[in-house]
């Protein structure tokens, strides 16, 4: 697997943060790969393992443990809707439905997480429920890519999507 040069430079820099153990760099390397390449492929798992002198299983078991890592590409814009109590009380589930309608994503009858990430047909948007985003005072909240949106009324979903075209 060929790592783009810029990404490789970032990875090499991240590894220097862990002088005591290269293994500690797995999470940062996976974050960088997902940011740069969109998801963590099997090849990326093997590449990371070789880079950090680990077995591939040492890397794969992290990809499957930590919910933020994806083994398949998300949409161009990835939406995370908070599902946890304060947001759910303020309309998080309705917000999820509203986003799905606006982005033309088929919303599974069981809207819970753990299911594969749902994507719109054109690949522009993908959406998932996530647990507490730690902004309960401004519920309901969601993230689009790296941006947090607070006090999002379900009706506001289409307007938010328009910012991400």
Partner 1 sequence: MPTPFKKTPHPKERRLVFQNVDREGWSEDIGCYMENGGYEELRKALTMERTAIVNEVKASGLRGRGGAGFPCGVKWGFIKLDEPKPVYLICNADESEPGTFKDRYILHQDPHQLLEGMIISSFALGVHLAYIYIRGEFPTGAKILETAIAEARAKNFLGKNILGSGFDLEIYVHRGAGAYICGEETGLIESLEGKRAYPRIKPPYFPAVLGLYQCPTIVNNVETLCNIKHIVRMGGAEYAKIGKPNNTGTRVLCVSGDVREPGYFELEVGAVTMGELIYDLCGGMKPGRKLKAVIPGGSSAKVLRAGEKYKIKTKQPDGSTGEKEIGIEDIVMDFDSLAAVGSMAGSGGVIVMDDSRDMLWTLNNINEFYAHESCGQCTPCREGSLWMKKITERMLLGGGVERDPAVLKNVADNIAGRTICAFGEACAWPTQSFVAKFKEEFDSRAGKPVPPPMPPEYLPEELIGKEEAHA
Sheet hosting strand 77-82, strand order edge to edge: 118-119, 125-130, 77-82, 142-144, 147-149
Instruction: Tell whether residue 28 is a contact of partner 1 (CB under 8 A).
Output: yes
- Of 8, 136, 156, 164, the one binding partner 1 (CB under 8 A) is 136
- Of 45, 117, 133, 152, the one binding partner 1 (CB under 8 A) is 133
Whichever of 112 and 121 has its CB closer to partner 1, that residue is: 112
What whole-number distance in Å separates Cα of residue 133 and Cα of residue 15? 28
Strand 118-119, strand 77-82: pairing: unpaired
Ramachandran region, residue 80 (left: φ > 0; alpha: ψ -120 to 50; beta: rest): beta
Instruction: Tell whether residue 115 is a contact of partner 1 (CB under 8 A).
Output: no
- Of 1, 12, 43, 67, the one binding partner 1 (CB under 8 A) is 67
Instruction: Tell whether residue 165 is a contact of partner 1 (CB under 8 A).
Output: no
Specify burial of residue 56 (Cβ count, 10 A radius: 0-12, 13-18, 19+): middle
Site residues, partner 1 (CB under 8 A): 17-21, 23-28, 30-31, 52, 58, 61-62, 65-69, 80, 83-86, 88-89, 112-114, 130-139, 143, 146-148
């Amino acid at each position: 697997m060929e790592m783009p040069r810029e990404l490789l430079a970032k990875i090499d820099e991240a590894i220097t943060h862990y002088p005591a153990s290269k293994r500690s760099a797995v999470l940062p390397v996976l974050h960088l790969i997902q940011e740069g390449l969109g998801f963590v492929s099997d090849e990326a798992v093997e590449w990371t393992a070789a880079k950090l002198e680990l077995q591939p299983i040492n890397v794969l078991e992290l990809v499957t443990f930590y919910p933020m890592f994806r083994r398949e590409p998300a949409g161009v814009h990835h939406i995370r809707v908070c599902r946890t109590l304060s947001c759910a009380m303020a309309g998080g589930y309705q917000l999820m439905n509203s986003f799905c309608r606006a982005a033309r994503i088929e919303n599974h009858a069981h809207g819970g997480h753990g299911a594969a990430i749902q994507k719109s047909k054109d690949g522009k948007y993908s959406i998932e429920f996530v647990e507490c985003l730690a902004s309960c005072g401004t519920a309901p909240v969601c993230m689009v890519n790296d941006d947090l949106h607070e006090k999002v009324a379900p009706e506001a979903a289409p307007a938010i999507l328009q910012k991400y075209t």
